Amino acid sequence: MADLKQFNLPDLGEGLTEAELITWHVSPGETVALNQIIAEVETAKAAVEMPSPYAGTVVELHHQPGSTMEVGSPFITIDCGGEGSAAPEPEPAAAPAERESVLVGYGAKTTTSNRRRPRKDTPARPASTPAAPVAPAPAARQVAAPATTAPAVGQAAAVATAGPAAAAPASGPATTAAPGSLAARSSRPAAKPPVRKLAKDLDIDLATVVGTGPQGTITRQDLLSANGNGAPAAAAAPAPVAPVAATAAPAQPAFDPAAREDRIPVRGVRKLTAEAMVASAFTAPHVTEFITVDVTPTMELLAELKTSPTFAGVKLTPLALIAKALLLALRRNPSLNSRWDEANQEIVLPRYVNLGIAAATPRGLMVPNIKDADRLSLIELAKALGELTLTAKDGKTPPADLTGGTITITNVGVFGVDTGTPIINPGEAAILCLGAIRKQPWVHHDELAIRQVTTLSLSFDHRLVDGEQGSRFLADLAAILSDTRNFVAFG
Catalytic residues: 462
Residue 197 has what pLDDT?
75
CATH 2.40.50.100 residue window(s) in the chain = 4-110
pTM higher than the cut 0.85 = no
SS3 content of the chain, % helix, strand, coil (to 5): 30, 20, 45
Beta-bridged to residue 151, according to DSSP, are none
| Least-confidence region, from 26-40, 248-262, 377-391 | 248-262
Q: Among residues 175, 121, 187, 114, which one has the least CA distance to residue 146?
A: 175
In this prediction, residue 157 carries a pLDDT of 36
d(CA 420, CA 411): 10
CATH 2.40.50.100 is right for the domain spanning 4-110: yes
Q: How far apart are CA 240 and CA 170, in angstroms?
A: 10
CATH 3.30.559.10 domain locations along the chain: 285-490
CA distance 368 to 402: 4
pLDDT, average across residues 344-361:
94
- Torsion from C-alpha of 310, 316, 321, 326, nearest 10 degrees: -110
CB burial of 305-339 (b: ≥16 within 10 Å; e: otherwise) equals beeeeebeebebbbbbbbbbbbbbbbeebebbbbb
Residue-wise burial string across 20-37, b where 16 or more C-beta atoms lie within 10 A, e elsewhere: bbbebebeeeeebeeeee
Which DSSP string do the residues of 183-241 spell out, in sequence order?
HHHHTSPPB-HHHHHHHHHTT--GGG----SGGG-B-HHHHHHHHHS-S-TTTTS-SB-
- Of 3.40.50.720, 4.10.320.10, 3.40.190.150, 3.30.360.10, which CATH number belongs to 187-237? 4.10.320.10
CATH number attached to the domain at 285-490: 3.30.559.10
| Percent of all residues in the chain with a pLDDT value above 90, rounded to a whole number | 45
In 3D, which of 428, 436, 438 has the Cα closest to residue 403?
428
What's the CA gap between 223 and 205, in Å, rounded?
10
pLDDT of residue 273: 80
* 19, 71 contact by CB (below 8 A): yes
The amino acid that residue 168 corresponds to is A
* Mean pLDDT, the chain, integer: 77
The residue among 443, 462, 225 whose CA lies nearest residue 335 is: 462
Q: Is the pLDDT of residue 184 over 50?
A: no
pLDDT in tens, 453-491: 999 999 999 999 999 999 999 999 999 999 999 888 886
Comparing 194 with 299, which gets the higher pLDDT? Answer: 299
Confidence (pLDDT) at 247: 57
Closest-CA residue to 284 (of 340, 349, 336)? 340
Q: Name the segment(s) of the chain with CATH classification 4.10.320.10.
A: 187-237
Cα 227 to chain center, whole Å? 59
pLDDT score of 391 more than 60: yes
Give the Cα separation of 464 and 105 in Å (integer): 14
